Amino acid sequence: MTEILSLTPPDRPRLLDPGRPGREDLASYLATGGYPAAPAPERLVESVAAAGLRGRGGAGFPTAVKLRTLRDAPGDTVVVANGEEGEPGSVKDRWLLRHRPHTVLDGVRLAARTTGAVRGYVYLSDPQAADAVRRALLERPPTVPVDIVLTEHTYVAGEESAVVRRIDGGPALPTTKPPRPFERGVGGAPTLIANVETLARLALLTAHPDAAVAVASSHLLTLSGGPAPSVLAEAPAGTHLGTLAGHAGRGGSAAVLLGGLFGGLYGDGWAGLRLDHDELIAAGGALGCGAIHFLPPGGCPVGAAADAAGYLAAQSARQCGVCVSGTQALAGTLAALARGEGRHEDTGKLHRWSQGLTGRGACGLLDASAHIAATLLRHFPDRVRAHEDGPCPSCADAPPPDGSRLGVTVP
């Protein structure tokens, strides 16, 4: 079971609003100021830039730059609301599509008007979310045609080139870049691919321009790990991870897996880190999609790294030989360490792989696996060396590292 928590002050617009339980219908969304008159495109881009809205899908790219690039692109353009969250520890996108479909579709409307798009898509793998979006489209027909595209739920299906490939009728697998979707995307047209939370915040800041900065800087987070229920939370930028852990019943955690699997592991000092893209990157982590997995007291970072690497190896698209061999080598070595069957030379191998495999795959999956190994070695060298002589009690009692312990249910 996943609980819902809002740390955003009640006088600010929120996506997680206790006063709006359940799925929003058209009447309830209109009552909150939804579907306002759209500002002039350039004015909206300027408002988004001034508010500092960044993408919520993982990379945190400035949204205004994306909007302006597509607006300046030649010919017709396309907008895609990307709701396929492949991170096993994230539920925010599916929750938004299930419970705030009009907010997301309002963001699609505004993005389409700003970029001059002639068609929109909502891309997802969750049937419940698809039903909610379908009902919302019937309640208020969109200003441009919007289609729902269902895909298989995998780690790589939400990667931007995989999104384009699937919408165009192919498999949801990444392709080599360039071109990137903003250059040549769905049907060959320049395409804006935006995470559904990004679009929801675009709609929210447009409806509440006086609170645009607060809206743009708040984050939806999935907090998990240990025996306590998982938590879907909304918190303002600058909130310390220790504060989040305390509210989520995880104040005694010794380490965290940051930002989904891509952010890697962090040890001493994690509680003092804040929700801030630049600060977390400078610390060697990443905010990513806002999934934060807290290792419970007594939990082992070697076991957590093996779990994450095992999941990523199983999710490889198997299109790049270096990804197949690299993820399998990392996962196998970390699993052996977790079992206490590692060898003394394994630390050197992990170090070489974590440095040499980055940037060599068609998507970020191999990078995520390499970064997990790199951050494990950086923050927990003593724990790694101890595992060369035998498993710790936590790892000895754990099930095989397949990533299943990282999963979270949608509230």
Per-residue model confidence (pLDDT) at position 398:
76
Distance CA 152, CA 161 (A): 15
The identity of residue 302, as a single letter, is V
Phi-psi region of 169 (alpha: psi -120 to 50; beta: other; left: phi over 0): left
The answer for residues whose C-beta is within 8 angstroms of residue 308's C-beta and 6 or more apart is 257, 261, 368, 369, 372, 403, 406
Distance CA 411, CA 407 (A): 13
Q: Is 176 exposed, middle or buried (0-12, 13-18, 19+ CB in 10 A)?
A: exposed
In the block, tokens 């389409």 appear at 112
Distance CA 274, CA 243 (A): 9
Residue pLDDT tens, the chain, 411 long: 789 999 998 889 999 987 777 889 999 999 999 999 999 999 999 999 999 999 998 888 999 999 999 999 999 999 999 999 989 999 999 999 999 999 999 999 999 999 999 999 999 999 999 999 999 999 999 999 999 999 999 999 999 999 999 999 999 999 888 899 999 999 999 999 999 999 999 999 999 999 999 999 999 999 999 888 999 999 999 999 999 999 999 988 989 999 888 889 999 999 999 999 999 989 888 898 999 999 988 889 999 999 999 999 888 878 888 888 888 999 999 999 998 888 888 888 999 998 988 877 778 888 889 999 999 999 999 999 988 888 888 887 777 777 778 888 898
Per-residue model confidence (pLDDT) at position 356:
86
Residue (of 267, 260, 259, 346) closest to 299 by Cα position: 267
Distance CA 115, CA 316 (A): 33
Q: Is the dihedral of CA 203, 204, 207, 209 positive or negative?
A: negative
String of DSSP letters for 28-43: HHHHTT-SPPPPPHHH
Q: Is the dihedral of CA 265, 311, 293, 89 positive or negative?
A: positive
Under DSSP, the state recorded for 240 is B
CA distance readout (Å), 354 to 55, 264, 366, 369: 26, 12, 10, 8
Long-range contacts of 21-28 (CB under 8 A, 24+ apart): 22/99, 23/98, 23/99, 23/100, 23/101, 23/132, 24/99, 24/100, 24/101, 24/102, 24/103, 25/102, 25/139, 26/102, 26/136, 26/139, 26/140
The identity of residue 345, as a single letter, is E
Check if the beta carbon of residue 386 is closer than 8 Å to that of residue 344.
Answer: no
